[in-house]
Amino acid sequence: MYWIYDEPTWVLGLVTTLTFLLPAVLGLMLGRKWIYRTFRLSDETNESVNGYFAGAGVLYGLLLGLVAVATWQNYDSANSTASKEASAIAALYRDVSAFPEPERGQLQNQLEQYLNYVIDVAWPAHRHGEVPRGGTLLLSRFQVVLTGFQPSNANQQVILAEALTAFNKLVDARRMRMDSVETGLPGVFWVVILAGAILSIALTYTFHLPTLRGHLMLSGIYSLFLGFMIFLVVALDNPFRGELSVTPESYVHVLNGLAELDPARQ
């Protein structure tokens, strides 16, 4: 089902809402007479149906609300993780800018290469649910140069310690980003959500209304609302997929501002 994230957001929203609206309307048009006749629906049954519908609506609404909140939290967490990694890169770049040559130039170039890799290679792969490993090699090369640096005075020892701390934060943030690529609701949640939507729409058929037009309007509005809610969950469920996905904007800002992080370039 991941192919849906390759489509524009408005197409995804239209398909999702129509998926609930059209079956709801067609089902009511085809089965209204049979339902009324089989279950002997009348104005007197509306009160009982309303009680059951209210109970089911509370349970399903609670489920859908909690799922929507959890989905947004996953999205926000993935966005925060990307920002933390970009901030760690900026802090590390500033630290290594205090190193003497040739280590300073080597470390700066490797961090710039890593930023370009994340923006141009890793992020497009994330959009397809893939986690490339090229960044590991780049950071390993960076680590070799960083740990191989021999400080010649106390000031350089402090700078090296700060750089190692920033590097560890970068590695942790990168691991969290890679783990977030495949974040999404388990399949059992989608089974329950879709089954609940179908059952709740079916319950709207059991209300006794004087005209088919009015019944279609109420059931259609209810199914549209369900479609909107489920579209919201779908759009945010995989934080690195689709037009509403997390963007590499934080990394781009850091890449464009590298010169400002090096006092020697100012």
List all residues 6 or more positions away from 233 whose beta carbon is below 8 Å from its beta carbon.
Answer: 64, 67, 68, 71, 185, 193
Give the tens place of pLDDT for each residue, 36-90: 989 888 888 888 888 888 888 889 989 999 999 999 999 999 999 999 999 999 9
Integer Cα distance of 199 and 190 in angstroms: 14
Predicted pLDDT at 133: 87
Report in angstroms the alpha-carbon separations of 14 from 2, 191, 194, 227: 17, 21, 17, 9
pLDDT over 90 for what percent of the chain?
A: 65
Closest CA to 213 of 17, 28, 23, 18: 28
Predicted pLDDT at 163: 93
Mean pLDDT of 101-127: 93
Comparison of pLDDT for 207 and 4, the residue scoring more = 207
Residue pair 233/193 in contact by the 8 Å Cβ criterion: yes
Q: Does 3 score more than 80 pLDDT?
A: no
pLDDT over 70 for what percent of the chain?
A: 97
Predicted pLDDT at 258: 85
DSSP designation for 130: -
Q: Does 33 score more than 80 pLDDT?
A: yes
Give the tens place of pLDDT for each residue, 174-186: 999 999 988 888 8
Q: Does 100 score more than 80 pLDDT?
A: yes
Predicted pLDDT at 8: 85
Cis preceding-peptide flag for 102 (omega within 30 of 0): yes
Give the tens place of pLDDT for each residue, 115-146: 999 999 999 999 888 899 899 999 999 999 99
How much is the mean pLDDT over the chain?
90
Q: Does 20 score more than 90 pLDDT?
A: yes
Q: Does 264 score more than 70 pLDDT?
A: no
Predicted pLDDT at 1: 62
Q: Does 265 score more than 80 pLDDT?
A: no
Integer Cα distance of 2 and 204 in angstroms: 31
CB count within 10 Å of CB 2 equals: 11
Mean pLDDT of 2-18: 86
Integer Cα distance of 265 and 234 in angstroms: 46
Predicted pLDDT at 182: 85
Q: Does 266 score more than 70 pLDDT?
A: no
